[in-house]
Amino acid sequence: MRVRQYAQFELVKRKNISALKTALQKGDSTIERLHGLWGLAQLQRARTAETAPFITQFINDKKTIIRQHICQSLGDFTSSPSHEALLIQALSDPSQRVKLKAAIALGKVGTEKAKPALWKLIATNKGKEHIIRHISVRALARLKDQDGAIMQVNNKDPELRLAAVLVLRELESAELAKFVKDENKTIREEAIRAIYDKQIMAAMPALAVESHNIGNYSLPLQRRILFSNMWLGTAQNASNTIAIVNNPKSDKQIKEFALRALSRWSKPPENDPIFSLYRPTTKRNINIIPTISKGLTQVLEDSNGKILDLALKLAQDIKLPLSPKTLLAQVNNTKAPANIRISALNTLLSQDPKYIKYIPVMLKKEKNEILQGRLIELSYAHKLTNYNQLKYKYLSTKNIPQSRAIIKGLAMHSDLHPQLAQIWAQKKEVLPPEVFLDLYLAMKTLDSSTIKTLIAKFDSTADNAYNLTTSGGNSDSGKTIFEGQGACLQCHQINRKGGAQGPALDGIGTRQNPHTIMESLIHPNKLIAPGFGTFIVNTKGGKSIAGILLKEDDTSYQIKTASESLKIMKKDVANKQGPSSGMPPIARALKLSDLRDLIAYLESIKESKVKKRVKSSH
């Protein structure tokens, strides 16, 4: 191949047009003819010689590959009406490859005449060859045929309407809005994707209108419809968003996203929630209370669980007046989850501070430990009756929510900081281990010489603080870190979801204890799963072998290299390096509280107990 290529280049260099023409016209093999064609095309492109008229004589050659490469060459030449006519003719060639090359070439050198021919090619293709559709769309986009695409809006052929959407997507045209109501589901969905993904703001209102039909779409498209409202950011869009929450056909996840979006309506995120691309918007000052109050009230009346929790927080954030009677009913509903009752309590107090004085009574009657913790925090925050005596009553129980609340409360008041120092000295006697990290983190923020000395002494032992993260975490929060901030899914799988660069973590909570998990996150090389450690051995014979250590026994190493699996005898090894892990010490990149949650999540992943089916004797 190189010899033929060198020969072609040399003939071009010598401008031996006669030899190249002979090769194309009379070559003994197809490859010889192709080299003749390529050489003549080189001369035409360089404008060294006018070889195009000779080349085009073979546009109907019996060899498909010759016709194909002639079309490709015509796309590289300067545009001319005669060449364009030949390429349009080639769009009807029996070979799909020739059609493909002709369409690509017309995208480069075509004019107005090429546009109808390309639309005809899409129609005759009937969606059978996706690559034909793709290349034709790209060609029409390069020819900027927005008018041709708009003309397809009412075309009865769904293939042409779909192609029109794809052309308009390439052109980032606001005319895409005309296809959002198309009768064909695929076309509607492509139009929605195109408008949102390309951030075509002029067409975005067409997506927002679909908020009332959101239940007819898949989850990815529901997200686009929802967030189109957030980017537009008007009062009407806020109304659309709360309507999404009240729509029984909306996905639960979408309802949660919608309530979070409303909470930050005046200051939307700088990154796109779907693609994480930087898409900042200007800060807007819009009063959304009049437009969402009725809908939000309906959410509060009809919802439960996470949706109700987020709705209560939204009502608190936007200072939506809610009936104290309704809020008190939520606070006193002992069957409701603690987080719901706490959200209702926070909203009640923010709306009407007079209820703060009832907190000591509520604390005395309350049985829920989590709600007790919140009431203890509020007692300290507002210096309510006997707040400085709560420590003596609630620390003795070694209850986690109550202990955390006491620590937060003591940290609020400088005159109570000495009590934190006393608790630190006796933490093993008075606190559950799950709260040790909370005490440590609270003390780290205080400007007390005594406490600073205690913390400095504790930190003088390397990695001492990490030992506080092995208990007390929130596994739900840990899962969020695992799948997001920690980027663990890029390399590890759980339930077949994730990357394969590292070992699967199914059942890790059964195989390892929290301390071992913590050490693996700080020192990844300390314990490496078989088959995942990078290993290098240098033999006494001077060879260096690098790969993955699959197995080691008393006499040998089994190493998997890029090409084979080798068994290396230990007596033949001069020295070795590894095994070493490719995982970074992720623990050092996380806040201690986040690390604690991540460990709690990993510990919660237990081996599934699969019952073995007993074979019948019959």
Q: How many angstroms separate the Cα of 128 from the Cα of each of 121, 132, 133, 153?
A: 12, 8, 9, 21
- Which has more pLDDT, 616 or 235? 235
Max CA pair span of the chain: 107
In the chain, the percentage of residues whose pLDDT exceeds 70 is 96
Lowest mean pLDDT, pick from 246-250, 302-306, 516-520: 302-306
103-107, 601-605, 609-613: segment of lowest average pLDDT = 609-613
Q: Sheet containing 544-552: which strands, arranged edge to edge?
A: 565-569, 556-560, 544-552, 534-539, 573-580
pLDDT at 15 over 50: yes
- Residues 295-320 as b or e (16 or more Cβ within 10 Å = b): bbbebbeebeebbbbbbbbbbbebeb
Q: In this structure, how many other beta carbons lie within 10 angstroms of the beta carbon of residue 529?
A: 15
- Closest Cα partner for 256 from 215, 283, 223? 223
| C-alpha dihedral (591, 593, 597, 600), degrees to nearest 10 | 120
Q: Which two tokens stand for residue 475?
A: 């596994």
Residue 136 contacts residue 163 (beta carbons within 8 Å): yes
pLDDT at position 582? 67
pLDDT value at position 461?
92
pTM, two decimals, is 0.64
pLDDT digit string, tens, across residues 492-504: 888 877 776 677 8
Report how far residue 416's alpha carbon sits from residue 431's, in angstroms, rounded to the nearest whole number: 17
pLDDT at 270 over 90: no
Reference 172, options 134, 208, 133, 141; nearest CA is 141
Determine what percent of the chain falls in helix, strand and coil, rounding each to the nearest 5: 65, 5, 30
Mean pLDDT of 66-70: 95
Higher-confidence residue of 138 and 546: namely: 138
Residue 40 near residue 55 (C-beta atoms within 8 A): yes
Q: List the single range of 87-96, 111-120, 556-565 with lowest mean pLDDT.
A: 556-565
How far, in Å, are 285, 433, 592 from residue 598 at the CA level?
A: 38, 17, 10
Rounded (10°) angle between helices 400-411 and 436-444: 10
Question: 3-state class of 568 per DSSP?
Answer: strand
Question: Token pair 């939307």 is at which residue?
Answer: 268
List all residues 6 or more positions away from 598 whose beta carbon is below 8 Å from its beta carbon: 473, 478, 481, 482, 486, 521, 590
Q: Sign of the CA dihedral 489, 493, 499, 503?
A: positive
Cis bond upstream, residue 503 (ω within 30): no
Find all residues with CB under 8 Å of 34, minimum gap 6, and list them: 65, 66, 69
Q: What average pLDDT does this structure show over 332-353?
A: 88
The mean pLDDT of 123-138, rounded to a whole number, is: 94
SS (H, E, C) 355-412: HHHHHHHHHHHCCCHHHHHHHHHHHHHCCCCCHHHHHHHHHHHCCHHHHHHHHHHHHC
In this predicted structure, the answer to whether residue 611 has a pLDDT above a threshold of 60 is: no
Q: What is the pLDDT of residue 302?
A: 83
pLDDT surpasses 50 at 612? no
Q: Which two tokens stand for residue 305?
A: 């669980």
The C-alpha angle with vertex 467 and arms to 461 and 468, in degrees rounded to 5, equals: 115
Q: Which helix (H) or strand (E) holds 128?
A: none
User: Under 8 Å CB-to-CB from 456, ≥6 apart: which residues?
Assistant: none
Query: Once rounded to an integer, what is the mean pLDDT over residues 537-565?
Result: 84
Q: What's the mean per-residue pLDDT of the chain?
A: 89
Question: What is the Cα–Cα distance from 301 to 259, expressed in whole angstroms?
Answer: 15
The pLDDT of residue 617 is 32
- Report which of 114, 206, 211, 128 is spatially closest to residue 165, judged by C-alpha positions: 206
Judged against a pLDDT cut of 60, whether residue 610 lies above it is answered with no
Cβ(159)–Cβ(126) below 8 Å: yes
In tens, the pLDDT along 570-608 reads 888 888 887 777 677 888 888 999 999 999 999 998 876
Kindly state the helix (H) or strand (E) to which residue 556 belongs, with its residue range: strand 556-560
* pLDDT score of 531: 64
Whole-angstrom CA distances from 277 to 197, 270, 404 are 10, 8, 38
Find the DSSP H helices in 52-157: 52-55, 64-76, 81-90, 96-109, 114-125, 130-142, 146-150
* Nearest partner of 258 among 216, 197, 208, 301, judged by Cα: 208
The H or E element containing residue 467 is none
pLDDT in tens, 457-492: 999 998 899 999 999 999 989 888 887 766 787 778
